[in-house]
Structure 1
């Protein structure tokens, strides 16, 4: 192996690079240099004369990753290696062999299957709205990736207890109709590329012989994400040979919902008993602090992947400890994250090296708005901007129409209704006496609900109470897919989450403007949509955890970490799905090079009921918290007790006060007023929200404990070294002045 290829390799990487020709399995943890390892292995095989560059086929899952493989190989002086995605490789082969296995006229590739699925769904009597068709298309893709035929589909989904977007028999009927329609029209979808390639090699010996003469060596990246269909293609490529190198990490298996399975990676040494297995665990990406957090997250994993768990070893210099923050509500969380990002950028971290990662795309809107408010440029990756999503655009049109046609409130604050008032388009879409859409409320061809919704009441009340405006908005959105519970299927669920987020915005507007009606809400949405467009420069990345796979940043904010979101609600009751949710968090943690911040909010809307619990995956991860995660532990491991009644303290506020929330308070009210006035002035000077300085609970704790020195201040949870340096002298001066008076 040339010296330049041997440089900068650790012992494990070198073992993988120089392993004998034949089956090699590289278990490569996050940040362990897997791309460098596999490209240098290919270069080593070529330079040692084991194989010619054109005889190597390297496959991965994204065009970006394939391009990176080719670029690195060229930098090593190795050109001619075929590095492609599975589908691109199959398409190239199928075009070459098609005349011999099918005929002269090649079938056309369809890039979008919704139209054909729609025709099949219509014939089968299934729903044909866009979201239903997306879910049906995704389900067909899963079935084909899993090598499940329409005939076997109902039994298989029952066996694996899969959530299906419609009755299994109906999905099977649509699936069969789609395949028949496609075949009769001479069309191929992307899954057919793999199916036909495998079939050509399996049933035509002369085709297989020519292919296997051309390609002698195979490399598969991200092997934990291989589907049964892709494995079938790989087996057809290999034949009886074993010249195969696979690279993967079962801890990063996050696509089982699409048919991926780690079992081929986990069973590799069983299939190839003579395989060389190398474990890459030295993490060159992240600081030891980030690595420790990642190890803690995955150490609790159970099930199929637990036995091959890789324990990362951080190789970077030490960095800051990960931070954990709890907020009263999502807007407060988003504002605090935006303020932190703004400070990071001021401290010299490029905006492009910062990411905000969340579980579902519907969470992006509040961060888009907060970053806009903070003047921070951003880009949304892996999903459309909130106000550009089809369901949100349709909802805005519908709400604008409903607001224009809604009755105006009378003098008593109730809506003026007329029995038989049919001002709204749509005939029987009459507003009923309870403020709900009457009749069938169906969406017309132009996307406008055929009915008007009357706004009743004054819209005041708690943010979690069903304000009249929120009720009215919900009633308009019900025909668009806003059911009481999230819909089955990923597309339907994303649509539900987007529509539900609009109801949350209605609650916020009703709290701030009690007289707001549908027309005012429609204007508010238009204003928010116009203001949410970021500058054209590249900025902070907003992305789902799935979209973040394979990427990395200097600073990562993992947000919205509450049960019901991570793990997602529909994973409850299924241990395998819960474990996949855990792996999603692990992927998120390992995206960070140096700075890692994790946060959650107890309420969705500002001022709402604080009923949510932080993610169970954080239990044991947050410093000074026991595995049960609701009761903090003291420095000696003992659970802190209430200084008044002696009971264990539960909750952040109780810990700050060192007393139960319902025990008598001896807070100094005048001192608390002074502290709040100081905080307001300080926040204005620093141009940050007041809670960034200190939360209400922290100020109340200061006013109750009245600390007289630094030791007393840092003894209050929420006051660390940074806040002590920045605000300690001012706070102690206020406390001392109060005591001396």
Structure 2
């Protein structure tokens, strides 16, 4: 890999302007308060190596009344919180048991307790301070009042229970359990219950029935889940004013970390406990509000003074994490958001490294170049594997780079669910159809195919095995034709599927997957109205597109399946290492997972339109399940601003080096460089010119059918059809292209025998055709 050619100082297509750089933080003496007791405390901190800047000192000293501390990325918010706690103990002589510090992770709470205990003179008082997560605090409250309900927090058990409920209701596997739980959670964190779930459509009525049974089962069995911990504490405080009054008298000082991540339920809990004194300090960064799908609302920071008119606002604007070019790029990215608190970070750390940008051809090209770079740097002794983190917007984007790491035995740790794309529940049935096309007696694959025919696995496989034992067939799936209870239309569906599987055998794998999707699988996954209620609709489409892209590298279904099996075997061997600490391993994670972390070197991959910003944000107007807080109804702008915040978070994870890659093709479709990168260099964003028009028809998996399309298919002409043509989903496929000058003939390679052929005559001019690739509509 040639470093000069692969990486540049500017994103592809960016104006030839100066590289964004942050201003250096002003040097000079620290401002020590005049009051002797305060001065002694801050000098004591300095003697122990803790030097606070003037803004941090302001936040530490302001203890009476509401305080909003805007903490930019890497600005030392944890140090500020810890030192403020120490200040309350040493200067204000506050009762340690009257200090409540709330955060969002057990790790953060433990770090806070440890650092407070490490302050001079705070070791004895620290254990009495309530430094907890929201859930831990609420659970402590419930148990202190006699609750004996057990936590039902095992995700796998929750999924099994929901699947069991769906089968009891005769719904099979109609809804992914994770989506049902997400819907229920979104209601609870917004102070609503399962009884308030909508019933406007059959799908909504079914989901409500499932979730009401789920809630009833928990009640009957004395269980509560994590959301119930919060709702239970909230209800208890609303119903028992004497208990709330005791809490208010006890907790004189309340502090909340990562305030931008709070949902409505958590926000109301904090307001209840802090009132009426309102000695409330909240620390957060509206530019890092990236969890709207979990109910987080940036408006709590943006409108803090409305809730607390006497609030003081302190901004921590010095970044102690990254070199000036990385801080500068972060500033240049996020400044284009309209709904934000104005702040520009300065850099405390010197350094001349500039972010590097890459424009690879595809995700596989991107992965190879990145891993080549990492291996070269580690081999030369410049870096260790543990210095690197690879970040991406959505989990399916890790497919290519994870494969490279696995194939080349590079030590790595995947902070996702640890599964390859090929192990996902969505992808496995497609692979099972491919497996049956090459081995019709693959009984494991048959079991995976049955749900797509709306046949229960146990019932279908029992019939197939029992019937085949007496009358063996080359393709035992044919025994489904005699399965008792099937209706005529189901029998016809089985016949069609048998023929479809037989027709796959000669196709190249990408063409075979396209055929599976077009003939039944896309409509199966997004059957009826389910697609409009699935929060991961765009993610599902993305995964299947990624599967097609992966398969496009192989000449035959057999070779593709062999590769898949080898990858899964190697991944299982890698996953056997249970340690969750990074160690000397390359870290892979989504941008969401990376928030709050930092790494010497960061690779941000997939930074192209449709990847970051993600396609779901670009289609926000058209997706019923868009879950962003848009008070003004402009879901597109709100979703786009959250995507820009994600880009900002990704950039600001890097300490020393940052590499950003924008593939020219993503999942077979041409992709422009992310608008967030171009605008950071002074380029113009596509704005509403690239905004998809709102449809007047119905939303389906991967395509919007307008009223015109449904009533007069085949109509063409005019600006409307031009826009429609521009929005058609395409894929990059293998083709034969004529080599003769002036001849534009080409034909798609669909069969393995064509892929293996050395040459082919042009049907128009008889000149030799050569293998190439081309974008074609799906």
Same topology, TM > 0.5: yes
The answer to whether structure 1 residue 85 and structure 2 residue 121 are counterparts is: no
1:57 and 1:83 in contact (8 A); partners too: yes
Measure the CA separation in 1 of the matches of 2:57 and 2:177: 49
The answer to whether structure 1 residue 147 and structure 2 residue 191 are counterparts is: yes
Deviation at 1:296, TM superposition (A): 0.9
Q: Which stretch of structure 1 is more off in the superposition, 184-193 or 51-60? A: 184-193
Q: Show the counterpart of 2:266.
A: 230
Q: Show the counterpart of 1:96.
A: 144
Q: Show the counterpart of 1:350.
A: 384
2:407 and 2:567 in contact (8 A); partners too: no
The answer to whether structure 1 residue 583 and structure 2 residue 645 are counterparts is: yes
1:487 and 1:496 in contact (8 A); partners too: no
Q: Show the counterpart of 2:775.
A: none
Measure the CA separation in 1 of the matches of 2:549 and 2:541: 12
**Alignment partner of 2:355 out of 322, 328, 332:** 322
Q: Show the counterpart of 1:371.
A: 405
2:69 and 2:283 in contact (8 A); partners too: yes
The answer to whether structure 1 residue 359 and structure 2 residue 393 are counterparts is: yes
Deviation at 1:480, TM superposition (A): 7.6
Q: Show the counterpart of 2:21.
A: none
Q: Show the counterpart of 1:505.
A: 550
Counterpart mapping for 1:90-169 below 5 A: 90-98=138-146, 106-112=148-154, 113-118=158-163, 121=166, 128=173, 132-154=176-198, 167-169=203-205
The answer to whether structure 1 residue 263 and structure 2 residue 307 are counterparts is: no
> Aligned pair in 2 of structure 1 residues 482, 184: CA closer, same or farther (>3 Å)?
closer
Q: Render the CA deviation track for 1:385-405: whole Å, top value 9, x for unaligned.
A: 315545456655564345311
SS in 1 for 2:234: helix
1:27 and 1:277 in contact (8 A); partners too: yes
Measure the CA separation in 1 of the matches of 2:310 and 2:235: 29
Measure the CA separation in 2 of the matches of 1:544 and 1:299: 23
Measure the CA separation in 2 of the matches of 1:243 and 1:41: 13
Q: Render the CA deviation track for 1:13-59: whole Å, top value 9, x for unaligned.
A: 11111113332110000000000011110111111134222221111
Q: Render the CA deviation track for 1:470-516: whole Å, top value 9, x for unaligned.
A: 54688796588489998863456545544443332222112xxxxx2
Q: TM-score, normalised by structure 2?
A: 0.67
Measure the CA separation in 2 of the matches of 1:451 and 1:538: 51
Q: Show the counterpart of 1:633.
A: none
**Alignment partner of 1:277 out of 281, 301, 313:** 313
Counterpart mapping for 1:128-527 below 5 A: 128=173, 132-154=176-198, 167-302=203-338, 305-306=339-340, 308-345=341-378, 346-386=380-420, 387-392=422-427, 396=431, 399-405=434-440, 423-425=475-477, 427-428=479-480, 439-440=492-493, 453-455=501-503, 459=507, 467-468=511-512, 471=515, 481=525, 489-490=534-535, 494-510=539-555, 516-517=556-557, 519-527=558-566
**Alignment partner of 2:680 out of 614, 621, 636:** 621
Deviation at 1:152, TM superposition (A): 4.1
SS in 2 for 1:218: strand
Measure the CA separation in 1 of the matches of 2:672 and 2:481: 40
Greater RCO (Cα-Cα under 8 Å, separation 6 or more): 2
Q: Render the CA deviation track for 1:400-425: whole Å, top value 9, x for unaligned.
A: 34531189xxxxxxxxxxxx987142
Q: Which stretch of structure 1 is more off in the superposition, 334-343 or 232-241? A: 232-241
Q: Show the counterpart of 1:594.
A: 656
Measure the CA separation in 2 of the matches of 1:586 and 1:554: 17
The answer to whether structure 1 residue 66 and structure 2 residue 105 are counterparts is: no
1:395 and 1:480 in contact (8 A); partners too: no
Q: Render the CA deviation track for 1:99-138: whole Å, top value 9, x for unaligned.
A: 6xxxxxx222211433444455456665635x62210111
2:613 and 2:674 in contact (8 A); partners too: yes
Q: Show the counterpart of 2:607.
A: 561
Q: Render the CA deviation track for 1:614-661: whole Å, top value 9, x for unaligned.
A: 2222222358x56569xxxxxxxxxxxxxxxxxxxxxxxxxxxxxxxx
Measure the CA separation in 2 of the matches of 1:441 and 1:563: 40
> Aligned pair in 2 of structure 1 residues 439, 615: CA closer, same or farther (>3 Å)?
farther
1:22 and 1:243 in contact (8 A); partners too: yes
> Aligned pair in 2 of structure 1 residues 540, 488: CA closer, same or farther (>3 Å)?
farther
> Aligned pair in 2 of structure 1 residues 440, 422: CA closer, same or farther (>3 Å)?
farther
Deviation at 1:10, TM superposition (A): 0.7
> Aligned pair in 2 of structure 1 residues 148, 201: CA closer, same or farther (>3 Å)?
closer
Deviation at 1:369, TM superposition (A): 1.6
Measure the CA separation in 1 of the matches of 2:670 and 2:481: 37
> Aligned pair in 2 of structure 1 residues 454, 401: CA closer, same or farther (>3 Å)?
closer
Deviation at 1:180, TM superposition (A): 3.4
Q: Show the counterpart of 1:552.
A: 598
2:440 and 2:474 in contact (8 A); partners too: no
2:63 and 2:279 in contact (8 A); partners too: no
1:486 and 1:497 in contact (8 A); partners too: no
2:260 and 2:296 in contact (8 A); partners too: yes
> Aligned pair in 2 of structure 1 residues 400, 202: CA closer, same or farther (>3 Å)?
same
SS in 2 for 1:327: coil
2:388 and 2:600 in contact (8 A); partners too: yes
Measure the CA separation in 1 of the matches of 2:317 and 2:383: 28
> Aligned pair in 2 of structure 1 residues 107, 582: CA closer, same or farther (>3 Å)?
same
2:430 and 2:516 in contact (8 A); partners too: no
Measure the CA separation in 2 of the matches of 1:486 and 1:149: 23
Deviation at 1:569, TM superposition (A): 1.4
Measure the CA separation in 2 of the matches of 1:135 and 1:41: 41
The answer to whether structure 1 residue 24 and structure 2 residue 54 are counterparts is: no
1:379 and 1:538 in contact (8 A); partners too: no
Deviation at 1:184, TM superposition (A): 3.6
Measure the CA separation in 2 of the matches of 1:118 and 1:144: 21
SS in 1 for 2:679: coil
The alignment of Structure 1 onto Structure 2 pairs a total of residues equal to 575
2:437 and 2:505 in contact (8 A); partners too: no
1:477 and 1:499 in contact (8 A); partners too: no
1:195 and 1:229 in contact (8 A); partners too: yes
> Aligned pair in 2 of structure 1 residues 611, 497: CA closer, same or farther (>3 Å)?
closer
Q: Render the CA deviation track for 1:416-472: whole Å, top value 9, x for unaligned.
A: xxxx98714263479xxxxxx995469xxxxxx988712558646xx9xx6347546
1:424 and 1:452 in contact (8 A); partners too: no
> Aligned pair in 2 of structure 1 residues 215, 469: CA closer, same or farther (>3 Å)?
closer
Deviation at 1:211, TM superposition (A): 2.5
1:287 and 1:319 in contact (8 A); partners too: yes
> Aligned pair in 2 of structure 1 residues 86, 455: CA closer, same or farther (>3 Å)?
same
Structure 2 unpaired stretches of 5+: 1-37, 443-471, 483-489, 578-582, 622-635, 688-740, 742-778
1:201 and 1:237 in contact (8 A); partners too: no
Q: Show the counterpart of 1:689.
A: none
Deviation at 1:320, TM superposition (A): 1.4
**Alignment partner of 1:5 out of 21, 45, 66:** 45
Counterpart mapping for 1:652-731 below 5 A: none
Q: TM-score, normalised by structure 1?
A: 0.71
Structure 1 unpaired stretches of 5+: 100-105, 159-163, 408-419, 431-436, 443-448, 511-515, 630-664, 666-741
